[in-house]
Structure 1
Amino acid sequence: MGSKNIYAYNLAMLGKQGWRLLSNPQSLIGQLYKAKYFPNCSFWEAELGESPSFSWRSILSGRPLFKAGVQWCIGDRTQVSIWNDRWIPMCPQYLIHKPPDCVFELVSDLIDAHTRQWIPEAIHTIFPPDIAKKVLSITLSRQIRRDKLCWSPEKKGCYFVKTAYWIARTKVLENVLVSTSHGNPFLELWRRLWQVGFKEWMLENALHLKKELFAKLLMIFWALWKNRNDLLWNGTKKSADALVLSSLAWLEDYTKAQLVEKSSHSKPRKTWTPATSGIQKLNVDGSFIPNTTLGGVGGVLRDGAGQFHAAFAKPIPNVASARQVELRAVEAGLNLVATLQLSTVVIETDCMDVISSIGDMQSTYVHEEGLIDNIRQVLHQRPHIFLQYAPRACNRVAHRLANLAYEDSNSYVWIVQPPDLILELLKNDCKPLG
């Protein structure tokens, strides 16, 4: 279980050179390759050429790997083709089909140049409803920046050999089996494995695996079963590389959650605390259910004595991930602060991933980069707004308001007088204050 396909691993290692070429085309080596091998076209259209160097041969050998993992992070939208480039989150390229007589070619054609917002009518005209929702879930940056290539299997958008290896191994296995299959390169593999008693062999050897490897094996089998049911009942399925990556990500999230739960039993329960005297605190939270595109955000503003000042609950119709809805909660909180014309405020969220992504200036977050850009811009302009982390137990009021927004699908804002559904939670938060 721990052995590697050497050829696939070599492709993943060579991919680092190609990634440097793609992510930093203005570097000296990038300009040299551009001048020699593809002066009149893009990297994706470049050919081997005459008398190519060994390094150039190696980079081109890994190009299919790049195509499987690279995705555009939308910036000024002028470089990205709607039909030929990967830019829609969690949407395989084979699902994108250009309608007859369609005049839209670039992603910039789908965006209002003045408001820098999507044009919903145009998007719903050329895409089916499920893909249109994914497009509308991409938050566009208000700042002008160039389109950027990102490594989609990693949430920070940076190339990692580990995730590249999984994609490369799948590609290598497909090439080996394609001559013996009929449409599905893995069909013959599974048929032969079951003929030689794969189930019995797997069960026998699984008992000798380390605990960590056995957990990964079970998670992948569960993902295969879920993928089979999705195909049978919903007509949707994931590719092999996406299946493995998502199942290992679920296992990592589950392991982290178990560690948090164990540590929480040994520590006293934390409660909400106000900001220092004279400073107000705004707690925000997001609500999102996987496999849907609907979410909700909520927030509550209180002063140094714990007294209620304002609150909001707002549904979010197009959401791509839990992290995105948590970021939208911070954005909605900043909008409330601007509306109330507050000067110094502490904003608390129970999502540490949000704190780190906003503070991480070196990474590119594929699906939320525009949203993160907008939040950073506001925080830069308002230096007396502080963003910090709070445990879930200290964020229960905002969590209830976010759930309300998700369930009710109406937007609410309360000033001075809190709604009845959070009165008990507000009282419980203030009990430790005396």
Structure 2
Amino acid sequence: SGKEIVNFVQSYIKELDGSEKETQKITQKVNKWKHPPDQTVKINFDAAYDERSSQAASGIVVRNREGKALISCSEIHHQIGSAFAAEALACRRTVQIGIEMKWSKIIIEGDSLSIIKKCKENREDKSHIGAYIHDIQQIMSRSRNLMFEYIPRATNRLAHILAKESMKKREEIYLADSVPEYAEFQRVNDNVREPD
């Protein structure tokens, strides 16, 4: 009957709405920055690239187990040939910071899957960013406690904000134990832990 069909369709729509809401909840949890384990720091990096001016900006943030920002910094790079090269430069600077600070365990996270994969491989890279990858591998050889992880862009928002704002304002930053005011909301949001 017509009434049964209407009831079926309404029930089906409710079921679809419910599954969509569940999917959104799952997606939101996956896209949240995760605190590193004890005795480990996480360093997130990202890059912003302006093709017209061939300029790029790196955004880097170092956080500990509690989610406290140990370092936040950005750098401007000139005469950069591609967004890919900009990401490689940001990654190289991230590795340098990790090694220079001599933390015992380091997880480096970025949202460029290609860069993360190249850094994990221990072979010569023959792409146009091969020199950057070679530099990263050379720097990494000074530490055994450094690993790379790919994360989605939504999980890498704080580093993204640092890179984007640095590019927009054409200014570099280097802050110990804090982030710039324009990134504070994201730092606080990232620091809220999901219930177990």
Q: TM-score range by the shorter chain?
A: 0.7 to 0.9
Per the alignment, residue 330 of structure 1 pairs with 91
User: Partner of 1:90 in structure 2?
Assistant: none
State the match for 2:33 in structure 1. 272
Q: Deviations over 1:69-119 (max 9, x none)?
A: xxxxxxxxxxxxxxxxxxxxxxxxxxxxxxxxxxxxxxxxxxxxxxxxxxx
CA distance in 1, matches of 2:70, 2:125: 36
Map of 1:75-114 to 2, 5 A cutoff? none
Is residue 391 of structure 1 aligned with residue 155 of structure 2? Answer: no
CA root-mean-square deviation? 2.1
Specify whether residues 415 and 370 from structure 1 end up closer, same or farther in structure 2 by C-alpha distance, changes over 3 A only. same
Pick from 163, 166, 175 the counterpart of residue 402 of structure 1.
163
TM-score, structure 1 length as denominator? 0.37
Query: Number of aligned pairs?
Result: 171
- Bigger drift between 280-289 and 402-411 goes to 402-411
Which runs of structure 1 show a deviation greater than 6 angstroms over 4 or more consecutive aligned residues? none
Residue 432 (structure 1) aligns with: 193
Structure 1 residues 57-206: aligned runs within 5 Å: none
Question: By how many angstroms is 1:333 displaced?
Answer: 1.0
Distance 1:354 1:374 in 2: 13
Secondary structure of the structure 2 residue equivalent to 1:309: strand
Read off the aligned partner of 1:402 and give its amino acid letter. Answer: A
Match of 1:343 among 104, 121, 125: 104
- Corresponding residue number in structure 1 for 2:118: 357
Deviation at 1:338, TM superposition (A): 3.3
Aligned residue type for 1:376 = Q
Gaps of 5+ in 2: 1-22
Q: Deviations over 1:254-307 (max 9, x none)?
A: xxxxxxxxxx97952220001111211111101113343101001111111111
Return the letter of the residue paired with 2:129.
E
Which amino acid counterpart does residue 268 of structure 1 have in structure 2? T
| 363-372 vs 385-394, which moves further | 363-372
Question: Which residue, out of 135, 141, 147, partners 1:380?
Answer: 141
In the TM superposition, what is the alpha-carbon distance from 1:363 to its structure 2 partner? 6.0
Aligned equivalent of 1:164: none
Q: Which residue of 1 aligns with 2:72?
A: 311
**Is the Cα–Cα contact under 8 Å of residues 314 and 409 in structure 1 kept in the other structure?**
no
In percent, how many aligned pairs have the same letter? 20
State the match for 2:46 in structure 1.
285
SS at structure 2 position matched to 1:305 = coil
Bigger radius of gyration, 1 or 2? 1
Kindly indicate whether structure 1 or structure 2 has the higher relative contact order, using CA contacts under 8 Å at least 6 residues apart.
Answer: 2
Aligned to 1:60: none
The one-letter code of the counterpart of 1:295 is A
CA distance in 2, matches of 1:306, 1:265: 24
1:416 pairs, out of 170, 173, 177, with 177
User: Structure 1: which 5+ residue stretches go unaligned?
Assistant: 1-263
The residue aligned with 1:370 is 131
Distance 1:359 1:404, change over 3 A: same
Q: Any conservation in 2 of the 1:313–1:404 contact (CA below 8 Å)?
A: no
Whole-angstrom CA distance in 2 between matches of 1:361 and 1:305:
32
Structure with higher strand content: 2
CA shift for structure 1 position 381: 2.0
Describe the shift of the 1:374–1:433 C-alpha distance in structure 2 as closer, same or farther (beyond 3 A): same
Provide, for residues 390-418 of structure 1, a one-character-per-residue CA deviation record: whole Å limited to 9, x for no partner: 11111000000011221222321100132
- Letter aligned with residue 177 of structure 2: V
The code of the aligned residue for 1:271 comes to K
Assess, with a 3 A threshold, how the Cα gap between structure 1 residues 339 and 367 changes in structure 2: closer, same or farther: same
Change (3 A) 1:361 1:431: closer
User: Aligned to 2:48, what secondary structure does the other structure show?
Assistant: strand
Secondary structure class of the residue paired with 2:193: helix
1:174 is aligned to none
Indicate if the aligned counterparts of 2:72 and 2:178 stay in contact, CA closer than 8 A. Answer: no
